[in-house]
Amino acid sequence: MLLIILCHTYSSYIGGYVKNTEYFEEAPKSLIHICMRNLFVFLVQTFFLFSGFLLSYHLFQLIEERKTFSMRCIILTFVNRYLRIFPPVLLMLASGVTLWVVSFFHGPIKDLYSDLEYQRCRKNWWTTIFFINNHYNQHEMCYFISWYLAADTQLYILSLIILSFIWRYRAKVNQILSVFIVTGILIPAVINYIYNLDIIYRITPENSKNNQFRSFNFSVTYSSMYANMGTYMLGVSFGYVYYKVKNYRLFSSVGYQICWWLLFLGLPMAVVYLSTFYYNRFFSALLCGLLKPLYALGIGIGVLGMSQNVGGLAKSICEWRIATFLGNFTYSTYLVHYGIVFYRTATAKEPMLISNWILARSFITDTIISFILGFLMHIVVELPAIRIQKIIVPQVGAQKHHSEKSKH
């Protein structure tokens, strides 16, 4: 989440009006700067990976306990998930469809930011509610970062359907998962080849202005369901692998642990480095399909190893109490941070100065405010809504325990 905030802090400058434009003009001369910008593009893959992982592991456990996976189970799983994420989204939508967004984000260039946001939300609020805004009228998307929730919801539904097939044909689980992983790689690759696009959506001044983050290119390479399908299916596969091997030691020898470190760190680093180059049409299409899943593969191997007590300092950092505490309200923080970060861009009364120090200072400020407001939304909106949801809507995992209690 911290890196996501850093990405958007950086984007708030590169997408705005700055005095010293040479800061961004000189960026292509620095490999570190280019790698940092390209890393930002892959960060969200971690979220898709974890979402698929948790869904898969939870449902395989459920199937083991109940020995069934009915349509009612699928519907209840989705309804609970939808109601879990919807209330905070509704609050953000309410701010977008009212004049509050215009009055709060007020400045000389409000016609390019708050006025447009108000118009988009008044017109397309319903696409956000139904989580289709990353495909339908994506160029006029209300509350831009909700594209992730739309893509994740679509992949969640697809995964529920796939898992129902796996329940019916349990002997072919490996083949089914493999087919959908390959499909998730091929679809973006083929579309990329047809339209002759770049391998990723690069965070450049040109791409960051003129509404390019809501363009067809952005949708194909970044925000669409199919652009992230390979990673999500990989997450579903890792959930299944963890379910099968959680009681076995996979990384017992030193050699295996060295391989784990190389894959955990090496794959994401290699992906980011490969993305710094430009390729011909064929290799651009191939890498467009492969790079995101390869990045996620490294992260997934890392998580699998840490679950088996491998990782040393890296594992300790991930299990740090403060990190765990902040992780409890990451979702609410994700929703509120976008408005915090781009407040400076929308309300700027003169071109902004940018430097490494200013970027670091802005990142720290954005992080503190975002987590404070995220915590408030978590305890005021998210938690009460979850408790009400659990009272009103049947919980799939709790049904078995309820039936057992009724017998006694």
pLDDT in tens, 151-185: 999 999 999 999 988 888 888 999 999 999 999 99
Q: Is the pLDDT of residue 66 over 80?
A: no
Which class for 29: exposed (0-12), middle (13-18), buried (19 or more C-beta within 10 A)? exposed
Query: Nearest 5°: phi and psi at 18?
Result: -120, 150
Spatial distance between the Cα atoms of 97 and 121, rounded to a whole number of angstroms = 5
pLDDT-derived band at 393, boundaries 50, 70, 90: confident
Spatial distance between the Cα atoms of 374 and 372, rounded to a whole number of angstroms = 5
Spatial distance between the Cα atoms of 163 and 184, rounded to a whole number of angstroms = 16
pLDDT in tens, 237-266: 999 999 988 877 887 788 888 999 999 999
Spatial distance between the Cα atoms of 86 and 72, rounded to a whole number of angstroms = 21
Spatial distance between the Cα atoms of 227 and 223, rounded to a whole number of angstroms = 7
Angle (deg, nearest 10), helices 229-245 and 281-306? 30
Give the per-residue pLDDT at 403.
Answer: 45
Longest dimension (CA), the chain: 74
Over range 393-400, report the average pLDDT: 66
State in Å, rounded, how far the first CA of the chain is from the last one. Answer: 45
Give the per-residue pLDDT at 397.
Answer: 63
DSSP collapsed to 3 states, 309-362:
CCCCHHHHHHCCHHHHHHHCCHHHHHHHHHHHHCHHHHHCCCCECCCHHHHHHH
pLDDT in tens, 72-123: 888 999 999 999 999 999 988 888 777 666 667 777 877 777 788 888 888 9
pLDDT in tens, 137-157: 888 888 888 999 999 999 999
pLDDT in tens, 5-29: 999 999 888 888 889 888 888 888 8
C-alpha Rg value of the chain to the nearest Å: 22
Spatial CB neighbours of 234, under 8 Å, sequence gap ≥ 6: 49, 52, 181, 184, 293, 296, 297, 300
Cross-strand bridge partners of residue 18: 352
Spatial distance between the Cα atoms of 112 and 117, rounded to a whole number of angstroms = 9
Give the per-residue pLDDT at 402.
Answer: 46
Spatial distance between the Cα atoms of 47 and 55, rounded to a whole number of angstroms = 12
Give the per-residue pLDDT at 211.
Answer: 54
- Enter the pTM of the model: 0.91
Q: Is the pLDDT of residue 293 over 90?
A: yes
Distance of CA 151 to CAs 27, 133, 227, 255, Å? 31, 9, 9, 38
239 close to 159: Cβ distance less than 8 angstroms: no
Spatial distance between the Cα atoms of 11 and 345, rounded to a whole number of angstroms = 10
Structural domain range at position 357: 2-407
What secondary structure does DSSP assign to 57-68, as a single string?
A: HHHHHHHHHHS-
Task: Give the helix, strand, coil percentages of the chain, each rounded to 5.
Answer: 80, 0, 20
Spatial CB neighbours of 181, under 8 Å, sequence gap ≥ 6: 230, 233, 234, 237, 293
Count up the domains in the chain and report the number.
1
